Each structure stands twice: as C-alpha cells, then as structure tokens.
Amino acid sequence: MAYRLKKKEIAYRKIGDEYFVLTPDDNMLHNVKGAGVRIMELLDDGKDEDGILQVLLEEYDAPAAEVEADLASLLAELAEKGIVARNDG
C-alpha cells in the first residue's frame, strides 16, 4: 500500500529529534519520535512504503519482518490521525 504525507493539509516541523504535526481538521498537535522521525523524513522526500522499508532495513539492525510490521503499524496510525493518506491509484 502506498502512502503520501498530506503536505498541503497539515502543518509540520522537525524540532530537535521530534516531528510536531498540526492536523487542522481536529486542531490536534501530534508528535512523532524515534524511528517515526526517520519515516516522516522519508515521506517528506516522497518515498513510498517500499522505499522507506528498504532505507530502514539498511539503517536499523532489526529483523526485516519486525521492521515491516512496525512500519505498517506506524503508517496506519498516521493515516488514522490524518497525517498521511493512502494513494489508491
């Protein structure tokens, strides 16, 4: 499944080692930490889920199945919060 960062619909900024994201639909401020920061950077660069997975596998010493499951989980959470959207096309 492909996701995209909703750049035009949200406000986001990296401060220190966290991303802060404002979703205007619900006026919520979210923060993304840890490996999620790297995922946000890669989404901001336009990488799709497969591209992000490949980068994470190169950068982190963890089993591929675990990295893939964690990535899918975080993307689903970000989608639920309105930070990313699925590309259905």
Q: Give the pLDDT confidence of 7-61 residue by residue, as tens digits.
A: 999 999 999 999 999 999 899 999 999 999 999 999 999 999 999 999 999 999 9
Structural domain harbouring 27: 2-87
- Identify the CATH number of the domain in which residue 42 sits: 3.90.930.60
Distance, in Å, from the CA atom of 88 to the CA atom of 86, rounded to the nearest integer, reads: 6
The H or E element spanning position 63 is: none
pTM score, whole prediction: 0.89
The count of structural domains within the chain is: 1
Q: Is 66 helix (H, G, I), strand (E, B) or coil?
A: helix
